[in-house]
Chains A and B, each alone.
Chain A
């Protein structure tokens, strides 16, 4: 400013500048009476109305605006502590998809396997997007810490715990194996069963009990809220598709599910590892039993004709048109996973196609 004083500038005050600006504007208007204010001009003048005070503010309080801008960037773009962050509401349900099961260093993944994995992931991604659920894809490659005979296939529990930490606000966690396909993606879990749990689930094994577990154990109080939703197939509990609610109960179950003293005694009998362990806990411990609800298999876990082959004439296990989810359980043991996946993918596409979409 000091150097400016040397020049004989006619306007030394800001007010004077503004005055001339206003005069100029008036002048041009009077000079061109037919000038129509175009649409773009009016928009830009509106924008200027908002921008001008902002720029003036920024120029006037430079330091303050730098601080504010930094804070805004930190809040919106990072997750550092001590700064409030804008977050979108966390999803009510998180889908856990187990990918790469048994993969790793032992074998190459074939093109079919890649394709199955892509289809399955795309299907869950689409479903999660439609209903605003979270989706987390967990890698189940063979790791050294599970290589001991006793720890084989126990990642499920650890992944569940890990996901609960990852989504601290989410209530329900839906575990899905890789070889599943959501056939009716327009159905939300809430309308399907979550909002009407009491009416859709059964909690005693009086009616359907493929394993002949004891139906009645002392001290069981079925008034408790359901914290875990599973299904039963022809061979007992099926953990290919199940849900768990965040609670102190589920925290405790995930903690005690694998117990060395129990597993040491039972690992010869427990062929299906965590599934058998859960069955044993269910049949002996009232606190487990009173929080578990069962859904009919076809509700979230329908089987293709190849699975449960010794019960092939029992329709309650097998996929009917418009069932919610198909689980190609055991397709890697002698069946064609890719073929089944492609078949059900095409079927789902056919069912989801609307009449007005004639070009698709």
Chain B
């Protein structure tokens, strides 16, 4: 310890600050080692947050969600795109279609149910079921037929009307309201039908809305019975099927207004959206706590339904719900209500004397969800009635007066009779 030559030269073994020996080469790496631990912790945290296992798992999962077929019209898998918002059948064929008769325009056949072979069932299918699977060949065939005869042209355009959908080049000026009408070539003459359709188109043009018109007879495959069109009440079912088809043809519209063929829009300047569809204009005219079966039914519309949530708007006569003129909102609930309303079990239910009117009454009485989305409005708004033979207690509530928005003559049965009303009101409106 004490070397001979050192004398008093004591030194601390480790110097203050600068020692005479250099620091070991790894001395400064202590700091770096700490950095490494931090890095490792950081990497683990990142690993944890980004969870590469899920990414790896994703590699093994299919990236393509399965493809499902697109929606299609009622009687066919094909659509015919139409760029004008006025969709109506060839009214000029009225006479030809009458000559052809409905039996030539549909396909009827009889089947026996596998479960009940003793019962014979009549089925009605659209001629579209006979289409060639290849659309190009079918088109060629139809073009050829159309050139050959007027009758075949009428027949082909009758069957193809179901496929027509509105597909504009861009959705900028998409019509917000669509006026839907089903017309019967066996009730009205060609001249009368021209006036009826022209009136809808005029109104739609005034406010850049859309028009969707179909033949009554086109919906025989849905009704599945020829007798339905012969009965005044049962033929009302056509309205619902026509409405559903319109909702398919105009997928981006806001509202659909079914307005029956027995009526005219009298005041073309009234914009129905401002008039009654906007929440602020609908709110004051909604009839709250109104009995579904007037005058004193047990089930009433809700007191606090919000105008914004209304999906179905209709009117009442003195004794029941009417569907000459009703409005449906184009959203999923509106479509659901429409489809549920024309369910086959309602269509065939014998205890619905007024067809879809009774069905709607039933739906509103039993299903509070739909009742909460429905609104009854005064009849003068969209269903002013021609003052008919039936005496009403309060004619001022129901009957058309000059200056009303629309007029309807739902009471008439015979075509000739109805055309007289049409004549009178066409003169009045022009």
Contact = CB atoms under 8 A, between A and B. Distances in A.
Q: Do A and B come from one complex?
A: yes
A256 B370 contact: yes
A255 B369 contact: yes
B339 interface: yes
Contacts of A221: 70-71
B387 interface: no
Contacts of A255: 367-370
Contact of A219 (B71, B346, B352): B71
Contacts of B68: 203-204, 222-223
A255 B73 CA distance: 27
A261 B348 CA distance: 10
Contacts of B20: none
A199 B65 CA distance: 6
Interface residues of B, number: 37
Nearest to A202: B66
A203 B336 CA distance: 18
Contacts of A266: 345
Contacts of B363: 256
B332 A249 contact: yes
A286 B68 CA distance: 14
A199 B62 contact: yes
A225 B244 CA distance: 21
Q: Which of A218, A222, A224 has the most CB of B within 10 A?
A: A218
Contacts of B366: 259-261
A266 to B, nearest CB: 7
Contacts of A265: 345, 348-349
Contacts, number: 91
B335 interface: yes
Contact of A284 (B343, B351, B367, B369): B343
Interface string B318-330: 0000000000000
B345 A252 contact: no
A262 interface: yes
A287 B343 CA distance: 12
B69 interface: yes
A287 B370 contact: no
Interface string A196-230: 10110011100000000000101111111000000
B69 A222 contact: yes
A285 B333 contact: no
A256 B365 CA distance: 11
A261 B62 contact: no
A286 B345 CA distance: 15
A198 B65 CA distance: 6
Contacts of B344: 284
A248 B71 contact: no
B248 A252 contact: no
Interface string A287-308: 1000000000000000000000
Contact of B332 (A198, A216, A224): A224
A261 B340 contact: no
B49 to A, nearest CB: 17
A198 B70 contact: no
Contacts of B74: 218-219
B72 interface: yes
A251 interface: yes
Contacts of B339: 219, 285-287
B107 interface: no
Contact of B349 (A220, A251, A256, A261): A261
Nearest to B358: A261
B401 interface: no
B362 A261 contact: yes
Interface string B235-253: 0000000001001100000
B61 interface: yes
Nearest to A283: B344
Q: Which of A204, A249, A284 has the most CB of B within 10 A?
A: A284
A260 to B, nearest CB: 6
A188 to B, nearest CB: 13
Q: Which of A223, A259, A262 has the most CB of B within 10 A?
A: A259
Interface string B47-89: 0000000000000011001101111111100000000000000
A221 B244 CA distance: 14
A299 to B, nearest CB: 15
Q: Which of B75, B244, B339 has the most CB of A within 10 A?
A: B339
Given A265-B349, A285-B343, A219 B367 contact: no
A256 B345 CA distance: 13
Nearest to B362: A261
A345 B247 CA distance: 52
B66 A252 contact: no
Contacts of A287: 332, 335-336, 339-340
Contacts of A286: 71, 335, 339
Contacts of B332: 224, 248-249, 287
Contacts of A280: 345
Nearest to A221: B71
A216 B336 contact: no
B114 to A, nearest CB: 10
Nearest to B334: A287
Q: Which of A196, A260, A266, A287 has the most CB of B within 10 A?
A: A287
A142 B362 CA distance: 28
Nearest to B367: A255
A259 B366 CA distance: 7
Interface of B: 61-62, 65-66, 68-75, 244, 247-248, 332-333, 335-336, 339-340, 343-346, 348-349, 351-352, 359, 362-363, 366-370
30 contacts: A199-B65, A203-B66, A204-B68, A204-B69, A216-B69, A218-B72, A219-B72, A219-B73, A219-B247, A220-B69, A222-B68, A222-B69, A223-B68, A248-B332, A249-B332, A251-B369, A252-B333, A252-B336, A252-B370, A255-B368, A256-B363, A260-B362, A261-B345, A261-B351, A261-B366, A262-B343, A262-B345, A284-B343, A285-B340, A286-B339
